[in-house]
């Protein structure tokens, strides 16, 4: 009987549960453009058109070896997701972040936790 109740619970609620803290895969992000001026990075990117998800912005961290790792957050439309840098919404999402003085362009990467690609490689610069 308990197994039946658990199965009903999974069927009833399992499909409607959304996972918080998701990120877009590197391959899902398109039209990446960036500009670095003084100590700021302006990043523009496009995510797939989805009816139930959007990108509220990015999270980033500076690793021990001086690499700046960016993750583009994927959030359910009914959720409020916390991000380190909030995106200005539009056809292209736009974020501006303050760069630590130690970061060099060749050490800025977009990552999804499994794959990482340098910004210059993504944008074709």
pLDDT in tens, 53-70: 999 999 999 888 888 999
20 and 59 Cβ atoms separated by less than 8 Å? no
Residue 72 in any domain: the answer is: yes
Residue 4 in any domain: the answer is: no
Q: Give residues with Cβ within 8 angstroms of 56, minimum separation 6.
A: 73, 75, 80, 81, 83, 86, 87
Q: What is the pTM of this model?
A: 0.76
Residue 107 in any domain: the answer is: yes
Q: How far is CA 78 from CA 29, 62, 67, 72, in A?
A: 22, 30, 33, 18
**Which is more confident, 16 or 122?**
122
73 and 83 Cβ atoms separated by less than 8 Å? yes
* Strand partners of residue 36: 41
**Residue ranges making up the domain that contains 45:** 19-123
The count of structural domains within the chain is 1
Residue 14 in any domain: the answer is: no
Residue 84 in any domain: the answer is: yes
What's the whole-number average pLDDT of the chain? 80
């Amino acid at each position: 009987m308990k197994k039946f109740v658990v199965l009903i619970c999974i069927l009833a609620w399992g499909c409607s549960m959304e996972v918080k803290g998701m990120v877009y895969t590197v391959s899902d992000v398109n039209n990446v453009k960036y500009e670095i001026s003084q100590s700021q990075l302006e990043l523009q990117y496009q995510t797939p058109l989805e009816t139930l998800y959007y990108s509220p912005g990015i999270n980033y961290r500076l690793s021990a070896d001086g690499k700046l790792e960016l993750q583009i957050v994927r959030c359910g439309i009914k959720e409020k997701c916390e991000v380190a840098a909030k995106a200005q919404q539009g056809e292209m999402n736009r974020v501006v972040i303050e760069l630590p003085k130690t970061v060099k362009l060749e050490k800025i990467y977009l990552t999804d936790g499994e794959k990482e690609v340098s910004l210059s490689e993504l944008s074709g610069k």
